[in-house]
Structure 1
Amino acid sequence: MKISLGKFIHFKLSCLFIFFLFVLLYISGSLYWIFTENYLGEPALVEINKCPVCYGESLCQTLLRNQIKLSNLAKVRFLDIFGSNSDRMYHATLNSPNRGNTEIVLKKLGKNHDLSDLDALICSKAKMADDCDVSSAISKLSFVKQSGQDAKFAKYLQGSSKMFYCPSTRLVSELFNKYKERSATDEVTLRDRVKIWSTAIINQEPLLLQMFPAADGWPFPEYVGACGRYVAVGNGGKQLSAFYNANWSLRADIAYQLMKIAEMLTNNKADFALYLTDVIDDNFAVDADGNVTVIDLEDVLVVDKLAVKSAKPKGWEDVHESVYAECPGKTFKSCHSFSEVHLCSHVTSDHNYYAICRYILTPHHGSLKKDPAQADGLLHDIPKNIDEDWDLEYLLNECVSPKRQRGRIQVVHKIIEALDHIRKL
């Protein structure tokens, strides 16, 4: 039986097509696996080898067991190259027997050059090569050998971050009690102190989340754990900037919660004042239930009120008042003039109220808002009947730029009362 030349050629072309299709599918599948593999279990990626010059190790077994899965575009490894010089955040799901499926956010806090600078500093202090093994070099540093006492360690920490800018041995002692990254259950070891010191230098957020936990009512995300130079926190929801066009009652509810956050951070049973020194929309989030949290704590200044009362610096009993000034700058820090020294030397300040009123609720932020939709503040377009009943616009203006001494402190509770009523309408 003869096969025509045309049919033979057609048969060969069909075979070649099937072969190339198979190769294409194989390559595509391999590339998909390479780029979307759950690579968090790789010790080198999370830099476990850097510990104890890291944020912690409590989450390492969870990562190595592949109990954390990246979500959506976070799965694509290739996208990492675009975030190599900035803090990286990935949405993920934690699946564990104790918690079930929990939405979390993984953060690599600190820019690559900041981490490299820290490593180089440790190597230099240890008189080793620039690319030395920092996990070994750190033990050669004199402060590690001398930081066994809480008071001495507190002095080493002072100035490392805003959390430790103001002097307080009590802050360090209470942090030790709540520290979740400890190596032993009954004490904070020298290894743990290195982790605390390293974290404070790069980004204080993990320490603040442990010191002031969400479980105790603090308006922050839950601290889940750390592995190497990654931390995991609870998912706070959508950033505040997404709610500027929400209906009035929702915006009033968010504003109420923001003012209550300012109140809690200023006055609380712990006798620590936490001052927000970087107040921008995207440092706050609103979850699916409408709860507001502070999701970026890198620039929170902590003041130990008991330490201030004990030291009694000049004017310590007076309420520190933030002064309104026109804002020509482009960032919160360049616009808002505040003094860490002044905040550290007063038991009470109206700083948090001022910052929330000016930079979130009202249009007095100067040139900070890049989005025109946010230019008039979160509480834009106050309904006429509400303004007439509560004089809300006047109260907000007084919160930003009071016309008399202690005027801001006198109006904030009226604002909270008004917003509490309005949000329930």
Structure 2
Amino acid sequence: MTTVWRSCRVLSGRRSTKTNFKLSLLVVLLLTSVVYILKVTSNQRDPVMVIADGDNDIDISWAEPEKCPACFGDTCELLRRGHFVKVDSESDRYMKKGIVSTGRIGGVKVIAKSMNEAGAWQRYERFICRSSPRPQVCNASYFILETMLVTDVALKVPWLREAWKICHLEKSALSLCVSDRFLEDVRQLYVQNVEDEGTDMTKEGDTGRAFLSTSLLLNEEAVLLRYFTTKSTTPWPFPKFYGACGRVIVVEHAGRTLDTFMDSSWEVRADIALQLLQLVDALREKDPDWVLFFLDVSFQNFAVDSRGWVRLIDLDEVMVIDRRTVVNQEQTEMCNEQCYMDFQKKLYSDEYHCEDIFKYTQMMYASICARLLSNLQKHPERRKWGELREYQEGKSVDLDEPPGKGLLHNPPDEMREALEGALTQCVQETLPRGRLGAVLRLQEILGTT
């Protein structure tokens, strides 16, 4: 710049005509513009890996945005707005739940979750390359748009029920009884009707389908949270879904998990227990279209937010049941642990039909009573109550070291006997419909605390 202005002085200092002076000024302005453009260009960085934030840059390489559209989504501006900070790798509690970063959006604390181990993603990318017309030069992140994953076939029930083998070693819960109606609802949410706006929008529609297929195959929690907290009009007890960047999703931080409340006052624990039973009520009865059935009950899969509300925070083992495809009837015969185990075995078999599944949804109450509410010091065998995979081929399941006691330990003396009796009937009913009666009795007892 010094050289530029020196030239200007030299030119203006001569006895030149007005025309020459104007010409020299124009030259100076052009040179100044060129210098500015070169400076800006030299300071540019990879827009995928780094997002500018004032005087600083935010490194989001941990979200792997360059993998899109073979990813959960591309709303990476969330990471800039939320001022995300990568979580310390030594934070065991966060790492177990797949939380890799925390931030704030609109004053709400949010988290970025990476919900799969590297092996699942590698299997997914290998499938994409095998399905590509040019497998020898395959880049999975790009070639996904040339595969069946962006076609209608990949969003139909028959294909989805077999497609879990692409990425996982065990069958996913969502695929067991999912309906085409639900998949179509979800497809519209991801594609956002761009296919109806003209042929030039086809590629954008395929990108949305790629996000959906990836989410369904890698971890359906991304799909369930997005659908039930953004499109559904029913207020579900889940953390809010904000978006996805690369291979992480951004959701509301739901608070502390239940195991951190074991030494809270009786009033606090009783309120949490009451909300857990009401949460099951909501999943079974609240929505006119869907019944949600979760199979994995543990202290780490529920949390209490800053308002004191209980949330289901892990939707890995959640089934979506279409009310139009099932017989809406209660269990008229007694069903306890072995009955529940037999049901799960049938559920995971290819021959099982889902029409009568609603009558088994009351077993969510039994799991809650046995594994979360019961005094586990008195009933230690209930820690693994109803856990099918504990009994398959001698396989041991890591239950994240559950507490040695349940939420309803050490109740007030005046309600101890009634509470224990209702909990026992909730877990092990001794007469038809005894469990539902016990749940009502528990809600009455806990509601008076």
With the shorter chain as reference, the TM-score category is: 0.7 to 0.9
Give 1:280's match in structure 2, choosing from 298, 321, 326.
298
Task: Indicate the SS of the match to 1:104.
Answer: strand
Partner residue, 1:153: 156
Aligned match of 1:48: 65
Give the structure 2 partner of residue 400 of structure 1: 427
Q: Are 1:126 and 2:138 an aligned pair?
A: no
CA distance in 1, matches of 2:83, 2:243: 15
Task: Indicate yes or no: 2:184 matched with 1:166.
Answer: no
Question: What number of residue pairs does the alignment pair up?
Answer: 354
1:291 positional shift? 1.0
Contact 1:125–1:141, Cα closer than 8 Å, also in 2: yes
Shift of 1:173: 2.5
* Distance 1:404-1:306 versus aligned 2 partners, 3 A rule: same
> How much does 1:406 deviate?
2.2
- Contact kept, 8 Å, 1:157 with 1:197, in 2: the verdict is no
Question: Secondary structure at 2:320's aligned position in 1?
Answer: strand
Q: Work out whether residues 143 and 156 of structure 1, in 8 Å CA contact, stay in contact via their aligned partners in 2.
A: no
1:62 aligns with 2:90: no
Establish whether residue 356 from structure 1 lines up as the match of residue 368 from structure 2: yes
1:259 shift after superposition: 0.3
- Which residue of the other structure, out of 405, 408, 413, is the alignment partner of 1:384? 413
Report the alpha carbon displacement of residue 384 of structure 1 after superposing the two structures with TM.
1.3
1:93 to 103, 116, 130: 103
Aligned partners of 1:402 and 1:243: how far apart in 2? 28
Q: Distance in 1 between matches of 2:62 and 2:78?
A: 15
Structure 1 residues 39 and 242, CA gap change in structure 2 (3 angstroms): farther
Partner SS for 1:348: helix
The 5 A counterparts of 1:11-22 are: none
SS at 1:265 equivalent: helix
| Distance in 2, Cα, partners of 1:323 & 1:338 | 14
Secondary structure of 2:156's match? Answer: helix
**Alignment partner, residue 24 of structure 1:** none
Q: CA deviation at 1:318?
A: 4.9
1:377–1:182 CA distance, 2 compared to 1 (3 A): same
**Shift in alpha-carbon separation, 1:370–1:226, aligned structure 2, 3 A:** closer
Q: CA deviation at 1:261?
A: 0.5
Identity percentage of aligned residues: 26
Residue 221 of structure 1: how far off its partner (Å): 0.1
Amino acid of the structure 1 residue aligned with 2:281: E
AA matched with 1:132: C
* TM-aligned CA deviation for residue 241 of structure 1: 0.4
CA distance in 1, matches of 2:283, 2:314: 14
Query: Is 1:117 paired with 2:103?
Result: no
Residues 82 and 251 (structure 1), Cα distance of their counterparts in 2 relative to 1, 3 Å cut = closer
Structure 2 gaps, min length 5? 1-54, 165-171, 198-203, 385-398
Quick one: distance in 2 between partners of 1:172 and 1:143? 14
Task: Tell me which of 258, 261, 284 is aligned to 1:266.
Answer: 284
How far apart are residue 287 of structure 1 and its match? 1.5
Deviations 1:116-159 (A, max 9, x none): 111112112226558831133223323534449xxx63443335
* Deviation per residue, 1:280-312 (Å, 9 max, x gap): 100011112211101111111121121124xxx
Task: Give the distance between the partners of 1:139 and 1:53, measured in 2 at CA.
Answer: 9
Cα offset for 1:359? 1.0
Task: Look up the SS of the partner of 2:288 in the other structure.
Answer: coil
Q: Which residue of 2 aligns with 1:199?
A: 215
Partner of 1:9: none
Question: Aligned partners of 1:50, 1:305: CA distance in 2, in Å?
Answer: 37
Q: Is the 8 A contact 1:56 1:225 kept in 2?
A: yes
Question: What is the distance in 2 between the residues matched to 1:130 and 1:86?
Answer: 37
TM-score normalized by structure 2? 0.69
Could you tell me how far apart the structure 1 residues matched to 2:124 and 2:224 are? Answer: 21
- TM-score w.r.t. the length of structure 1 is 0.73
Check conservation: 1:56, 1:181, Cα contact below 8 A: no
Distance change >3 Å, CA 193–CA 158, structure 1 → 2: farther
Q: CA deviation at 1:247?
A: 0.7
Q: Comparing 114-123 with 190-199, which one deviates more in the overlay? A: 190-199
2:156 alignment partner AA: F
Indicate if the aligned counterparts of 1:284 and 1:295 stay in contact, CA closer than 8 A.
Answer: yes
Structure 1 residue identity aligned to 2:118:
N
Give the Cα–Cα distance (whole angstroms) in 1 for the partners of residues 136 and 119 of structure 2: 14
Instruction: Say which SS state the counterpart of residue 112 (structure 2) adopts.
Output: strand
Instruction: Assess if the C-alpha contact under 8 Å between 1:255 and 1:379 holds in 2.
Output: yes
CA distance in 2, matches of 1:370, 1:269: 32
Cα 1:131–1:353 shift into 2, 3 Å: farther
Question: 1:86-145, CA deviations, whole angstroms, 9 ceiling, x for partnerless residues?
Answer: 7630352235xxx2x321011011111111111112112226558831133223323534
The Cα offsets for residues 344-397 of structure 1, whole Å up to 9 and x where unpaired, read as 63333212111111111112462557768x323111112111235xx1110110
The answer to whether the Cα contact below 8 Å between 2:326 and 2:354 also exists between their aligned partners in 1 is: no
How many Å separate the matches in 2 of 1:175 and 1:354?
31
Offset of residue 416 of structure 1: 1.5
Q: Is the 8 A contact 1:286 1:293 kept in 2?
A: yes
Q: Give secondary structure in 1 for the equivalent of 2:174.
A: helix
1:230–1:183 distance in 2 versus 1, CA, 3 Å: farther
